[in-house]
A and B are shown apart, each in its own frame.
Chain A
Amino acid sequence: MKNVIEMQDVWKTYPNGAHALQGVTVKIDRNEFVYVVGPSGAGKSTFMKLIYREEVPTKGQISVNGFNIGKLKQRKIPYVRRNIGVIFQDFRLLPRLSAFENVAFAMEVIESPKRQMKKRVMEVLDLVGLKSKANRQPAQLSGGEQQRIAIARAIVNNPSVIIADEPTGNLDPETSWGIMQLLDEINFRGTTIVMATHNKDIVNSMRKRVIAIEQGNIVRDQLRGEYGYDF
């Protein structure tokens, strides 16, 4: 199974009549790092949401890790999601829980054995460089650190794909670079990464595959591409 993500003529029309995607066909291989760029409202978020099955396509086929996502039975969705890690611009950590607990939460809800949990959580906290701050609550951490915790949570269950929706959107340039290095490292270790971004500097200096979406269509798909917009 070479292609981790495969879309075949995918359309998404929202109930209000907006055509978010209009016939998108794309393949993303195992271990690729892909930037998804384009103007706001072009369909980037929909593209991402379709992959982790937050939305279902109106038409067309999507397969992720070999599962036909559009036709998935409701009760099988959780099992597919366990193989996909998602990161957001706003981190989405639980404020009541410590950094450790936030990461462990992802293992707890899929009923991982307790004895593995502690070891694995500390392992990923170490990977994101926050082992020493395991007991801090999100409010006691900087934005960059919170995003690292969110990344730790996304990778703790060893997903084959990471979907990152503007992960540096709320961070200053320097912190953003730290996050990008971390994602690069995770990609290097064998995880496919699909990242929607508006960050020109990052796309242009850390050259990867670039997929540009405009008005619901893929208008450009380059290996080691450029950002290509002025915004």
Chain B
Amino acid sequence: MTFNTFLRHLREGCRNVFRNGWMSVASITSIIVSLFILGVFVLLVLNVNAIADKADSQVQIRAFLNVTVDQKLRESLQKEIASMPEVSRISFISKAQGLEDFRKSMGDEGKDILEGFSKDNNPIPDTIMVEVIEPTTVPFVAKKIEALNTTHTEQPIFKVKYGKGTIETLFKVTRTVRNVGFIFVAGLALMSMFLISNTIRVTILARRKEIGIMKLVGATNNFIRWPFFVEGTLIGLIGSLITIGILFVGYDQLISAVSSDLALQVSLIPLKQIWLQIGGILFVLGVLIGMWGTTLSIRKFLKV
């Protein structure tokens, strides 16, 4: 293809977009809608994942010890837990420290409730805090610690606890968001594709005569197809660019709204960390939808 021919295809393709007016607007709008929803889902998944990751890294197992456990037994238990291959770090919180921490976390309101508890009648048990290398092994390690009761006749472990609910819910949420989002977006993308293919079909029908003459004077099939490809791709491209604009401005607003609201203890991923990924995905997908839509129509209506 010569440069002049390339320019001609570009020019013709652009002209077609404008010539089809409302059809093009409808196609572009449908692309914007589907890509926007996709973008929202991607942002949601990324952020939920980030929160889940953060929560993961905070997951600790707390092994509460029975009051009967003496220092010697406690130290041997600590050694045993620390030697488990999944465990990265352990720390010990004595009952005195535990009471102190609890008091702190309760703040002013808790002062009254905890009034009267002191060293002698401290209800808080000694606790071993366990951190694991891989968050998914938490339930397994917790079981292993519980099982220490079977090897020690003193039954030293009172209870083992970990933030079971939080992580599992988060994982579930992420998975659901991802699946629902995927189905939704796939459906919408399909719809956009058909709309684009319809727009291209209108162009092809409107230019039937011209195409006939082109064939007659010996235009190659690719020469005939190119302007339609340009048209479809352009529609996809315009749609994706508009979507990216809307999405980024919106997300930016959301970030500033969230960060100024102190009651919400979440922080969103800053735009500059993810704009390239999200922009890239939306851009490529928009262009691909445009091209697929065109292909669909060309196959069906452009018998060359």
Q: Which residues of A contact B (CB under 8 A)?
A: 52, 74-75, 78-83, 86, 92, 94, 105-106, 108-111, 113-114, 153, 157
Residues facing A in B166-209 (CB within 8 A) are 209
State the Cβ distance, B229 to closest chain A Cβ, in Å.
16
How far is B212's CA from A117's CA once the two chains are assembled, in angstroms?
A: 21
Q: Does the CB pair A79–B213 fall under 8 Å?
A: no
Q: Which residues of B contact A (CB under 8 A)?
A: 1-2, 4-5, 8, 209-210, 212-221, 223
How far is B200's CA from A144's CA once the two chains are assembled, in angstroms?
A: 35
Q: Does the CB pair B209–A75 fall under 8 Å?
A: no
How far is B223's CA from A78's CA once the two chains are assembled, in angstroms?
A: 10
Output the nearest chain B residue to A85 by Cβ-Cβ distance: B217
- Contacts across chains A and B counted by CB atoms under 8 Å: 51
Question: Chain A residues with Cβ under 8 A from B212's Cβ?
Answer: 92
How far is B213's CA from A94's CA once the two chains are assembled, in angstroms?
A: 9
Question: Chain B residues with Cβ under 8 A from A52's Cβ?
Answer: 216
Output the nearest chain B residue to A106 by Cβ-Cβ distance: B217
Output the nearest chain A residue to B216 by Cβ-Cβ distance: A86
How far is B214's CA from A157's CA once the two chains are assembled, in angstroms?
A: 13
Q: Does the CB pair A81–B209 fall under 8 Å?
A: no
State the Cβ distance, B217 to closest chain A Cβ, in Å.
4
Q: Does the CB pair A92–B218 fall under 8 Å?
A: no
How far is B1's CA from A25's CA once the two chains are assembled, in angstroms?
A: 40
How far is B215's CA from A82's CA once the two chains are assembled, in angstroms?
A: 10
Q: Does the CB pair B5–A111 fall under 8 Å?
A: yes
Contact of B217 among A74, A75, A109 (CB under 8 A): A109
How far is B222's CA from A110's CA once the two chains are assembled, in angstroms?
A: 11
**Could you write out 17 A-B pairs with CB less than 8 Å apart?**
A78-B218, A78-B219, A78-B220, A78-B221, A82-B217, A83-B218, A92-B212, A92-B213, A94-B210, A94-B213, A110-B218, A111-B2, A111-B5, A111-B223, A113-B2, A153-B217, A157-B218
- 8 closest A-B pairs (Cβ-Cβ)? A82-B218, A109-B219, A81-B218, A106-B217, A78-B218, A78-B220, A109-B214, A111-B5
Most buried by B among A80, A83, A109, A113: A109
How far is B213's CA from A52's CA once the two chains are assembled, in angstroms?
A: 13
